[in-house]
A and B are shown apart, each in its own frame.
Chain A
Amino acid sequence: MMYYLGLISEYLKNYMKSRLTYRADFWVEVISDLLFQATNLIFILVIFMHTDSLGGWSENEVVFVYGFFMVPYGLFSCFVNLWNFSERYIVKGELDRVMTRPAYNLFQIFLENVDPPALVGSVIGLIIMGISGAQMDLAMEWWFIPALIILSLSAVAIYTGIYTILTSLSFFSDAPTGIIPLMYNIQGYGRYPVTIYNRAIQVVLTWILPFAFVGVYPASLFLHREDMRHMALLTPVMGIVFLTLGLLAWNWGIRRYRGAGS
């Protein structure tokens, strides 16, 4: 365990060193990330200029859900970045290098792709939750902070599980599958109250690609929405299940890996 914590700090130091050469770039990346989040927020704000409720949810509630959504998403984007996996590690063969080292291969891949600017999004998410919560007179309760930590980590586990399963597919197919960009779009569905979608999409978002568990379900716990309370409490279970599935799929896939050469 200490060994792995040490690795994290070494990789972060390394990241800082290489990043300091392109200092301005760091901030440009932060700003462009925030702009992207801002467009989603503008979408919500503009929408509520034309309606009072979205499937029974008020503006502040929807904004709060979006704020929560940003917290685990920032953590996930910082520590788990599998976007270029197939291209970088399989096609270019960098996986061979990773596999000759003692630390767990998936962990090394995560570390090699850390992206700290993404964490700014989590901070903004917390601020958004604070502002919209205050506007709703949401009383701060003692369990908010521990619940926020547990639910955020569970959501990160769900993301990691889903993306690890999908990335494992690249061990079985030669060509990049294009399935990852697909998921980035599906996860957009999880930002809004799932009740606005038709039944089939709701089932998919809850049980098959459980993106509703990274936004609307856990956030509803803080909003005291009784209709989704049991779903919110289920979030850690889903996190454990999907993370386990992800690791199993990965370990199974990597045993099939033979190296593409180059």
Chain B
Amino acid sequence: MLSVYTDFIRIRFLTMLAYRVNYYSGILIYCMNIGVYYFTYKAIYGDAGSIGGFTAAQMTTYVAVSWMARAFYFNNLDREISTDIRDGSIAIQMIRPYNYVLVKFMQGLGEGMFRFLLFMIPGMAIALLLFPVKLPTDPVAWVGFLVMLFFSFMINTQINIITGLTAFFIENNEGMMRMKRVVVDLFSGLILPISLFPGWLATIAQWMPFQAITYLPGSVFTGRVKGVGIWNVLGIQIIWLVVLLVPMIIIWRLARRRLFVQGG
């Protein structure tokens, strides 16, 4: 039974590999985004020593690491699920002897592995050449980061699956998906580290799951959070991973009872 699911990982990985040329431009896009924020922060820092607890060097690293982490955890599962629901192909998938949500997870994992090997690692190498990024030398930091990165992926994927499944209830969830992307980019700390937010906004951000995707792992990796703080970060990530399972399962249960196909 397990091998069925691992096959989904493998198949997705191979599918992605077939279209890998598209990812070369992706690497460039990410380096450009890092560039925009790098130059903007450089202008902000001027002579300032530290802003929001980040030194200029840490900020550069944070920006690069955040975008490269996104290169790994990002996926379009929300769109895939919503398409499956709208064109009705989900009906077929529901009668197959596997769990649809779990299969999506596995496909996401296959895509994640592809992105990790052919997008994030080469992208990181290029970013290292272009920008003064300082990565930690301590192997423990690396192991910790990879573990946290995996949790980032899991949490982001859960959010994507929940967003995708809303297509069961909203006929056209295009706006929902776009909104999710904006909210995730902002509140995950991708475009602005949360410690730079004004107090009230930072408080809101701290009560949302999104910071566990980018900001918390990024803070650890730039060396801003050390020691016991690292365990706190892991704890928060695990809590959100568990908490998000609840709406995901509930929505899926409800959804199966009200499948309503719009065409196909």
Q: Which residues of A contact B (CB under 8 A)?
A: 22, 24-25, 28-29, 31-33, 35-36, 38-39, 42-43, 46-47, 49-51, 54-55, 175-179, 181-182, 185-186, 188-189, 192-193, 196-198, 201
Contacts and interface: CB of A to CB of B under 8 A. Distances in A.
A188 B35 CA distance: 10
B132 to A, nearest CB: 13
Contact of B196 (A24, A35, A50, A177): A50
A178 B175 contact: no
3 A-B pairs closest in CB distance: A28-B175, A178-B25, A32-B178
Given A28-B175, A188-B36, 8 more contacts: A25-B174, A28-B172, A39-B191, A50-B51, A50-B196, A51-B44, A178-B22, A196-B39
B82 to A, nearest CB: 13
Given A39-B191, A43-B192, A175-B21, A29 B44 contact: no
B179 A31 contact: yes
A28 B176 contact: yes
B137 interface: no
B255 to A, nearest CB: 20
B175 A46 contact: no
Contacts of B33: 185, 188
13 contacts: A22-B171, A25-B175, A28-B174, A35-B182, A43-B191, A47-B192, A49-B196, A51-B46, A54-B40, A177-B25, A179-B25, A192-B36, A201-B35
Contacts of A188: 33, 36
Contacts, number: 95
Interface in B183-207: 183, 185-186, 191-192, 196-198
Interface string B25-55: 1101100110110011011111010011000
Contacts of B42: 196
A209 to B, nearest CB: 11
A39 B182 contact: yes
Contacts of B26: 178
A54 B179 contact: no
Contacts of B43: 54-55, 193, 196
A177 B25 CA distance: 8
B44 A181 contact: no
A46 B176 contact: no
Nearest to A33: B178
Interface of B: 21-22, 24-26, 28-29, 32-33, 35-36, 39-40, 42-46, 48, 51-52, 171-172, 174-176, 178-179, 182-183, 185-186, 191-192, 196-198
Contact of A39 (B25, B35, B185): B185
A20 B86 CA distance: 19
A185 B32 contact: yes
A50 B44 CA distance: 8
Contacts of A179: 25
A42 B186 contact: yes
A182 B32 contact: yes
Contacts of A47: 40, 44, 192, 196
Contact of B186 (A29, A39, A178, A182): A39
Nearest to A47: B44
Contacts of B191: 39, 43
Nearest to A48: B44
Contacts of A189: 32, 35-36
A186 B51 contact: no
Contacts of B32: 182, 185-186, 189
A39 B191 CA distance: 9
Contact of A32 (B25, B28, B40, B175): B175
Contacts of B24: 178
Contacts of B46: 51
B39 A201 contact: yes
Contacts of A176: 22
A5 to B, nearest CB: 31
B25 A36 contact: no
B232 to A, nearest CB: 24
Contacts of A46: 192, 196-198
A175 B45 CA distance: 42
A28 B35 CA distance: 31
B119 to A, nearest CB: 13
B32 to A, nearest CB: 5
A129 to B, nearest CB: 21
A186 B34 CA distance: 11
A22 B172 contact: yes
A181 B29 contact: yes
B175 A31 contact: yes
